[in-house]
Structure 1
Amino acid sequence: MRPFSLELEGFTSFRQRAVIDFTGLDIFAITGPTGAGKTSIIDAITYCLYGCTPRLGKQSISELISQGADRAKAMFEFASGDCRYRVARQTKWTGKKAGSDVRFEKLEGDKWISLADKISQADALIESVVGLDFSGFTKSVVLPQGRFDEFLKGKVDERRRILSDLLQLDIYSRMMQRANEIAREGKNKADTLDGLLARDYGASTPERLALLRGELVDLKPSLEPLTMELNRVRELLQTAHNLRQNRRELITVEADLKRMGPDRTEAEKRIATAKKAISERQKKIDELDAQIKSSSYDSRIRDELVAKLQKSQRLHEQEKRIRSIEEARTGRTRRTSDLETDYKNAEAALETASKKRDLVKKQHDSDKKSLDASIRKYGSADAIRAVIEANRRRLKEEERKKKLEDELTRLNEDVKRRETTLKEAGDDEAKRRASLDRAREELDHLQRKYSAEELKLLLERGQPCPVCEQPVERVPKSRAHPSIELAKKAIGKQEEELNRLITSRSTIEGELSQLAPRVTGKGDEIRSAQAALDDAEKAVRDVLKKRPGKDAEGELEKLRDQALRLRTAVEEAVLRLDELRDEESKARERAEKIRQDLIKLETETAAESQELQRVAAEIKELRADLGEYSDVAAVKAALKQQDDAKTKLEGALHSKEIEAEAMSKAKDALAGDSSTLERLKAQGEASELSRAKLIKAAKSSMSLLLSAFPDLRVEIERADDDAAAQLEQKARELECERDEIKRTVLQREKEIETLEAQIKRAAELREEIERARANAAVAHDLAQTLRGDQFIAFIQQEAYHRLAIDGSIHLMTLSSGRYSFGFEKDEFIVLDHWNADDARPVTTLSGGESFLASLALALALAEGLSGLSHRRGGFALESLFLDEGFGTLDAETLDVVLQGVENLSTTNRLVGIVSHIPELAERMPVRINVRKSVGGSTIEIS
């Protein structure tokens, strides 16, 4: 397995998408600070291939998701053998559990073909392609951090399994299994074919074949006579069919002749009836023609009467119309008189309303002028109310200012009193300090004077004297000096008094420091009260035009009442003025409406006069035109006579049409019946002629058939003696006999063909049985040779010894000639050449020595085992990843290790080393630098 590229996103420290291109890399270092994500790169490779990592396994796979992300994604492209593959995995956290999915693809040409998209299928395929399971991969290709020595010190069974995977030794087990399967299949096949030969080919003998060929020779000559007789019957079968047809036609002709007699009689009766009906219809038509000629109906006269009726009705309507107009004119005259009276009253009411409005307008203008003058001089009522409130605040501020001034006076007196006390306390403190200094000087004098007595107190028997440094043999008695004690007590009393004075002074200073802000605050409050007082006084002075006195509020209230009265009068005037305007507007609207009604009545009256003249003229014209037909009833009576005559005439015409139609149908029926009679006569003559011809043709056919087949039963008069049916029956019998012989011939030919094939197949089966038994014997011998895993065990032992030899070469170099490998009892050992080739278990090596030994085995795995693999071109270890472990080596050993690793670059293998050691990274030709940042780790190749 050799990597091509790796892509990460949301994977541990790699929050953002990161891509590594391994193309062209042989040996490189993965470096970066601790926690940047160096090991995560190798974890991503194992995650893509196996769905888990060495550090977390499969149970905690959700921990691979970056903080703040909901999924971890990785895609790994690699080559195995001559094929290129790509696997992508994703783990998504749904809030309760983690779900994973996978996609495994293979590159064919320039297209990626999906191989599996289910985890179970993909895991099995990937393991098969890589050639190692997860455990083997992490012990031979990837040496994880802290687990690099698992192949060296691991269990025997686990190590043997890894070697089997690397060398693909399972092929020999599969070979033995397959050989046994081939042996069983060969034996089963031979037994099956032997049974088949006995069961299906037992009767396939040459004797049976000769018997069938003899029967075929006997059957073929009997076919020709049957075929000739059948052809002769078929030749005369058409004559028999013609005879059958002639007899059928003869029966039909005789039936037609028999039916024609009654039809001719019936046709003659219908002709006589039709002639009588025609005569009766013609008589009725003549009578109706006489009625039509005598009718009094005249369409021209009726049209004139219809026109006169319309004019007469129009005359009647216009006479009613002129009476209606005259009645309406009388009503409009009365309505006009009433409206003229109402219009005069409305004009008077409008004039009265206008005068009232003018009076109220004058009063409103006067009150408004007074109000405006008052507002200009004193302000509005609301403004005066605000001044009244300001005056009340002025009075309160005067009282407040006086109180504040009194409090300030008291505070100033208190400050002066405390300042005096502070000065006196300072003087007392100075006097007390001077007295204390004198007492201390006097005590010093006494102590110097009597210092020997003080030294006596320090002497101890047997200890050196502090003055002469001689051992004290006897401590002398000390004597008390009352003057010193008295001086000390006096100093103590003076110190207490001084402390009391200092405390008192500090208390007074503290009180003064507290009084100062209060004095300043009271001054600020007084100034604030004075400012408020000045503002309020100015507002009152602006209204009263003088300095406010004691009765300032009463004067302001009077001014406010005056302003309210003026404002109320103006508002009432405005309301009254609005009412009068509405009243005036309504009066004007009413007068205008009455005027419009008068105009409308005058217009309607004039229009009616014109209409009355027009209607009168039309009535006069209609009377002149109608003359005696002016009466509607007379016109309707004359019109009714014409309508009755018209109805009678139309009835006669309709009856005539019915009779004419009936006579036409009678004539048509007479013509049809006459034609039918003529047709029946002609058909009778033709049928007689056809009957004679049919009898002649039937006799000719009967003569021909009887001459060929004398045993036929044929007569013209007997319909049941059908020659065609007799010949058809004979032909069927001949065909059946011939077809039976043909079927037997074909069956014998087919049986001969099948028997020949079976005889040939039986010979082939016998040869196949011999081959199957021979192949089974060879496969059985091969399986016996591979039985018991002896061959596999031999190869594994060879692999162990080769690993020990190849690993020793590397270990001798890495350990400066101290160690080499040995192999005893399925375990690796080390030989200590610095200690007389002492053999030691690998478990006794130190951490650094274990790393060197594991690295030596890893190098040996990468280089030397391909020679034992049955498929050298597809050997698995094309890559090696080492995760840390170099920190346990000293500088000299590290240099030797790196030289050994660098030598692998000439073997066309990829080697990746994970380390945070700068010296190691600098030695590598290529470095994959992992950068740690707040937004997630990033990758840079240099």
Structure 2
Amino acid sequence: MIPHQLTLKNFLSYREATLNFQGLHTACICGPNGAGKSSLLEAIAWSIWGNSRVATEDDIIRAGEKEARVDFIFQTNQHIYRVIRSRQRGQSAALEFQMATSEMPDNYTARDLVDRLAFRSLTERGVRATQEKIIEHVKLDYDTFVNSSYLRQGRADEFMLKRPSERKQVLARLLRLDRYDELSERSKERSRQAKANEQVLEQSLEAIAHQLQDRAEIGDRLAQVEAQIAEAQAAQQRDRDRLAQLQTRQLQRQNWQNQLKNCRQRDHQLAGDCDRLQGDLSLTERRLHELDALLQQADEISAGYAEFEQLQKREESEAAKFHAYQDAQHRRSQLQQELRDYLSSLETQLASARANYDSLEERKAELHESLDRLPEVESAIAQLQAARDRLATLDELKERVTPAIARRQELQTQLDRLQARLTARLEEISGQIHRLQSEVQTSQVLRETALEVGYQIEELEKKRVYQQRVREKGLERRHFMERLQAHQRDYETQLAELDRKIEMLQVPDAICPLCDRPLDEHHWDLVVHKHGKEQQEIIDRLWVIREQLAVSDREIQILRDEYRQLDRQLADYDRLRERRGSLQAQLEQADDRRSRLEQLEIERQQLERSIASGDYGGELTLELEQLDRAIAQLNYNDRDHALAFNEEKRWRWAEIKQGQLQQARRELENLQQRQPELQRQIAELETALTREREDSDLDRELQQLERSIAAIAYDRREHQALREALQQARLWEPRMAQLQQARQRQPELADRSRELSERLQGRSRDRQAIVAQIEQLQHQLAETPDATEEIDNISRQIERSNAQLQQQFGTQGRLQQQQQHLDRLQQTYEQKQRDLADAKRQLRVYQELATAFGKNGIQALTIENVLPQLEAETNQILARLSGNQLHVQFVTQRVGKSRRKSAKKNPKLIDTLDILIADARGTRPYETYSGGEAFRINFSIRLALARLLAQRSGTALQMLIVDEGFGTQDNQGCDRLIAAINAIAPEFACILAVTHMPQFKEAFQSRIEVRKTEKGSQLSLSF
């Protein structure tokens, strides 16, 4: 990993800072303690992995800020990546991962690097998925990083302090041997799948073989059913031929029946037609007779219709006179109403004028009475002016005292709010203390629970160790059984060879099986006796081996049961470990709560003292006292102000009354001016009313209209008699219409009568022909008997035979399906046999691969090959740092402790990764070395490990970070450390050393100066 640019915002002690790594190969990050040197490197680890040294995640945010953000651009595996991680206080973190799609520019600054590079987003949905994506591309997790290329402050000995097994795991991850664990697990999984597949195939083959036993029986049953089907089909065909003959004859008979039915229907229809035509003919002749009678009265009807027309003309003339008479009468009524309305209007106006004159006289009297109170009102006005002067004085005093009162209220409000805040804070702290006390009380229960869980985990770990021993013993028994089985096969081969030789000796003139020479009786007995003795010895050995196999098999079965029982007992192991971790976290939180509780108790006591003494006001209380003295000096009283205001209000009526009197004086003058006008208006209305009553235009128009009504000469009784005569003569009008219609329809009815007579004769002839056809069909039906019953019998017989045949067809189909199924089963059986052989072969292959990829296979071999090189590199660096005084040795196996006597003869070796350190006084534990020596040892191992990984093709650690630790070295030790760093510098792209020692930082040409300011930590580069 090669860094290019790091941008910080509100991260730990940094407010805003950008570090450009261009030109920094071997650099020193220097500055005083607490300036933020380690925070700069923590930002790199936090941006990529989200891990840091802070206790809670919000602690990485600078104090007083709400959000922290780190933007890191780096190069790894020939690709340039950008990671942006941010976090808001009280919320979850945000993570963005990008990859550059353009080449890195040759020369760039911190400002234009992001602009000159084009990035493509690799961010997944969710922070966890994005984090896994980053680790996938970087190919390095956090633990491996801090145990190899990052010597963190105070944690340089982290690799050394790990357990031997954990050291081996860290080394395996660095060497990317964990992929072999994955391959081993995949091989085991496929081995289990192959084993399960083998068992499934064996069970399937057994089931198929059981089904194939019925194959011959099903073939015989199928042949028998096919013969029965052929016989039933022949009998059914004979019944079908007979049924076809009967159905043909029956169909002919049904046709004759249908024809007979149709003929009878036709006869009934023709009879109905004849009856209908006869009725129509009679009706037509009767109607023709009526028309002839009406035509004979034609002269009488014509004379009556002429008289009706004359009376109609006279009635129209009288109706015109009636309409003119009505119009004249209506106009006379209108004129009379207009005359009455006009006279009524004049009378109303005259009455209104007289009423207004009387009201004016009354109002003048009222105004004279009001004006008599003028002296009393003037005296009240003087009292009102005095009250207003007093009120103005008090208003001015109020304006001076009001700001002081408002400020006093404001100060009192602030003091009340301050007291309320202190009281609320006291209540809040009391609630928190109560809650924390209840939570702290449960810490003892948590501690006891954690101890109990720890005891359970220890017991389960012992059982895990015992389970491993059971497994090893089972494997040992399995290998022993395999050796016994191999011996058994050898003995069985030897026994078969001896049986063959003994059989050869039973032949007359047998020859020696060894030398091929003829045997006499004595030698034959010797050879037979010798072979028989060897045969018995082999049989005895076979019995011993079989007994041992049976015993071993039982032992393996017992071990399997015990292993499964232990496996069930260990089912809660992971859950208990998780619970222990959760309980430990809860205990740590309980400790935090206890310290928080003490702080809250102190704060509560301080608040209670402040509230009880009232000293929380400070300057506000002093200002309040000064305002109280100033208000007292002004001697302002709200009561006096209110009394003065009421006094002014009490005499305010005089001002209103004065205005009313002035208004009354003006109104009186107006009334005196209106009085002559009203007198003149009354006189004019009386004159007009007299004139309209004696002579007017409407009266003259009424007289002219009376003369026009007399000239019309309309007589109502004569008009009514004319109407009655016209009504009687109106009867001739429909008679005249009937006469005209009769003249038109008489020829049509004559033609209709002739047509009906001809159609009736034709229907009679058709009916006679139908009757003859009916007689012929009845004769044919009598000669052909009905075969319905016989047809039904044969049909039922065919249905029964068809049902039986369908059953036989169903049986045949089932047998054929079974036979086809068995044929397919036979093919499947053969295929599964081949699959079973393939599954057994795969099982052997994956079992061998699982063993090869396991911890004791390729991984152990790789570590064994790497450790000598790591040991040599470590000793080379350590020799330079210690002046050839210290030496390191890596031990991968040691003898296990055991109480058994057999273990002393054959000691058991345990895989480990112990580190032995030797000096001039011999080999000593790591803990006995001083701080400077311990740091040199740790530094040598970490540098050697980083150098080794940089040389390998796996995870290439191109950056080395050394954070502090130099304070434990003397001047000579510092020079040796610098020389060691410079020696390995060409193998790394960037080496950063963090220190606050002036003599150490002067040894580096490139320096990153960090200083603490009021605006946060600041960076500066020097080359």
TM-score by length of 1: 0.50
Conservation of the 8 A alpha-carbon contact between 1:183 and 1:777: no
The whole-number CA distance in structure 2 between the counterparts of 1:601 and 1:330 is 13
Q: Counterpart in 2 of 1:64?
A: 60
Which of residues 928, 933, 940 in structure 1 aligns to 2:1013?
933
Q: Counterpart in 1 of 2:940?
A: 856
Conservation of the 8 A alpha-carbon contact between 2:87 and 2:94: yes
Q: Counterpart in 2 of 1:804?
A: 871
The answer as to 2:845 corresponding to 1:778 is yes
The answer as to 2:995 corresponding to 1:915 is yes
The whole-number CA distance in structure 1 between the counterparts of 2:733 and 2:879 is 142
Which of residues 787, 793, 806 in structure 1 aligns to 2:860?
793
Once the 2 structures are TM-superposed, how far is the Cα of residue 159 of structure 1 from its aligned partner?
Answer: 0.8
Q: What is the SS of the residue equivalent to 1:30?
A: strand
Query: Which stretch shows the higher mean deviation, 104-113 or 850-859?
Result: 104-113
The whole-number CA distance in structure 2 between the counterparts of 1:330 and 1:657 is 70
The answer as to 2:157 corresponding to 1:149 is yes
Question: Which residue identity is paired with 2:37?
Answer: K
Distance 1:320 1:185, change over 3 A: closer
Conservation of the 8 A alpha-carbon contact between 1:884 and 1:915: yes
Conservation of the 8 A alpha-carbon contact between 2:281 and 2:756: no
Distance 1:148 1:161, change over 3 A: same
Q: Counterpart in 2 of 1:885?
A: 965
The whole-number CA distance in structure 1 between the counterparts of 2:101 and 2:918 is 52
Distance 1:779 1:629, change over 3 A: same
Distance 1:891 1:736, change over 3 A: same
Distance 1:782 1:341, change over 3 A: closer
Conservation of the 8 A alpha-carbon contact between 1:152 and 1:828: no
Q: What is the SS of the residue equivalent to 2:14?
A: coil
The whole-number CA distance in structure 1 between the counterparts of 2:805 and 2:722 is 89
Question: Which residue identity is paired with 1:167?
Answer: L
The whole-number CA distance in structure 2 between the counterparts of 1:697 and 1:812 is 145
Q: Counterpart in 2 of 1:38?
A: 37
Distance 1:334 1:186, change over 3 A: closer
Q: Where does 1:584-595 land on structure 2 (aligned, <5 Å)?
A: 590=665, 593-594=668-669
The whole-number CA distance in structure 1 between the counterparts of 2:747 and 2:880 is 139
Q: Where does 1:450-849 land on structure 2 (aligned, <5 Å)?
A: 590=665, 593-594=668-669, 598=673, 601-602=676-677, 605=680, 609=684, 612=687, 616=691, 620-622=695-697, 625-626=700-701, 628=703, 765-785=832-852, 789-823=856-890, 835=920, 839-849=923-933
Distance 1:696 1:155, change over 3 A: farther
Distance 1:176 1:851, change over 3 A: farther
Question: Which residue identity is paired with 1:139?
Answer: N
Q: Counterpart in 1 of 2:335?
A: 311
TM-score by length of 2: 0.47
Deviations 1:289-340 (CA, angstroms, capped at 9, x unpaired): 9988877961112112211221222233444556667778889999999999
Which of residues 313, 322, 334 in structure 2 aligns to 1:298?
322
Distance 1:202 1:806, change over 3 A: farther
The answer as to 2:982 corresponding to 1:898 is no
Once the 2 structures are TM-superposed, how far is the Cα of residue 809 of structure 1 from its aligned partner?
Answer: 2.8
The whole-number CA distance in structure 1 between the counterparts of 2:148 and 2:284 is 124
Once the 2 structures are TM-superposed, how far is the Cα of residue 884 of structure 1 from its aligned partner?
Answer: 1.3
Distance 1:167 1:638, change over 3 A: farther
The whole-number CA distance in structure 1 between the counterparts of 2:171 and 2:1022 is 34
Q: Where does 1:861-876 land on structure 2 (aligned, <5 Å)?
A: 861-865=945-949, 875=955
Q: Structure 2, unaligned stretches of length 5 or more?
A: 103-116, 216-221, 295-303, 372-653, 789-795, 891-908
Q: Counterpart in 2 of 1:429?
A: none
Q: Where does 1:96-107 land on structure 2 (aligned, <5 Å)?
A: none
Q: Where does 1:40-189 land on structure 2 (aligned, <5 Å)?
A: 40-53=39-52, 59-76=55-72, 81=77, 89-90=85-86, 92-93=88-89, 134-169=142-177, 171-172=183-184, 175-176=187-188, 178-185=190-197, 188=200
Conservation of the 8 A alpha-carbon contact between 1:915 and 1:921: yes
Conservation of the 8 A alpha-carbon contact between 2:37 and 2:1010: yes
Identical residues among aligned pairs (%): 19
The whole-number CA distance in structure 1 between the counterparts of 2:120 and 2:25 is 26
Conservation of the 8 A alpha-carbon contact between 2:167 and 2:913: no
Question: Which residue identity is paired with 2:326?
Answer: R
Distance 1:22 1:691, change over 3 A: farther
The whole-number CA distance in structure 2 between the counterparts of 1:301 and 1:643 is 10
Question: Which residue identity is paired with 1:793?
Answer: A
The whole-number CA distance in structure 2 between the counterparts of 1:31 and 1:653 is 144
Deviations 1:95-117 (CA, angstroms, capped at 9, x unpaired): x9999999899999977656656
The whole-number CA distance in structure 2 between the counterparts of 1:660 and 1:6 is 126
Deviations 1:677-704 (CA, angstroms, capped at 9, x unpaired): 99999999999999999999999x99xx
Q: What is the SS of the residue equivalent to 1:881?
A: strand
Conservation of the 8 A alpha-carbon contact between 2:71 and 2:82: yes
The whole-number CA distance in structure 2 between the counterparts of 1:2 and 1:690 is 123
Deviations 1:327-359 (CA, angstroms, capped at 9, x unpaired): 788899999999999999999xxxxxxxxxxxx
Question: Which residue identity is paired with 2:336?
Answer: S
Q: Counterpart in 1 of 2:540?
A: none
Q: What is the SS of the residue equivalent to 1:822?
A: strand
The whole-number CA distance in structure 2 between the counterparts of 1:664 and 1:161 is 134
The answer as to 2:9 corresponding to 1:13 is no
Deviations 1:891-942 (CA, angstroms, capped at 9, x unpaired): 5554443344345453354433222345655655654443321121457686
Distance 1:201 1:833, change over 3 A: same
Q: Counterpart in 1 of 2:429?
A: none
Query: Which stretch shows the higher mean deviation, 652-661 or 790-799?
Result: 652-661
Conservation of the 8 A alpha-carbon contact between 2:85 and 2:93: no
Deviations 1:580-635 (CA, angstroms, capped at 9, x unpaired): xx9999799858855665457438836973895599479735366346589xxx99
Q: Counterpart in 2 of 1:426?
A: none
Deviations 1:752-779 (CA, angstroms, capped at 9, x unpaired): 9999987776665554444333322322
Conservation of the 8 A alpha-carbon contact between 2:61 and 2:68: yes
Question: Which residue identity is paired with 1:45?
Answer: I
Question: Which residue identity is paired with 2:839?
Answer: A
The whole-number CA distance in structure 2 between the counterparts of 1:911 and 1:694 is 130
Q: Counterpart in 2 of 1:526?
A: none
Question: Which residue identity is paired with 2:46?
Answer: Y
Q: What is the SS of the residue equivalent to 2:889?
A: strand
The whole-number CA distance in structure 2 between the counterparts of 1:317 and 1:675 is 74
The whole-number CA distance in structure 2 between the counterparts of 1:747 and 1:671 is 93
Q: Structure 1, unaligned stretches of length 5 or more?
A: 348-578, 715-720, 722-728
Once the 2 structures are TM-superposed, how far is the Cα of residue 13 of structure 1 from its aligned partner?
Answer: 0.4
Question: Which residue identity is paired with 1:609?
Answer: E
Q: What is the SS of the residue equivalent to 1:932?
A: strand
Question: Which residue identity is paired with 2:149?
Answer: V
Aligned length: 675
Deviations 1:434-493 (CA, angstroms, capped at 9, x unpaired): xxxxxxxxxxxxxxxxxxxxxxxxxxxxxxxxxxxxxxxxxxxxxxxxxxxxxxxxxxxx
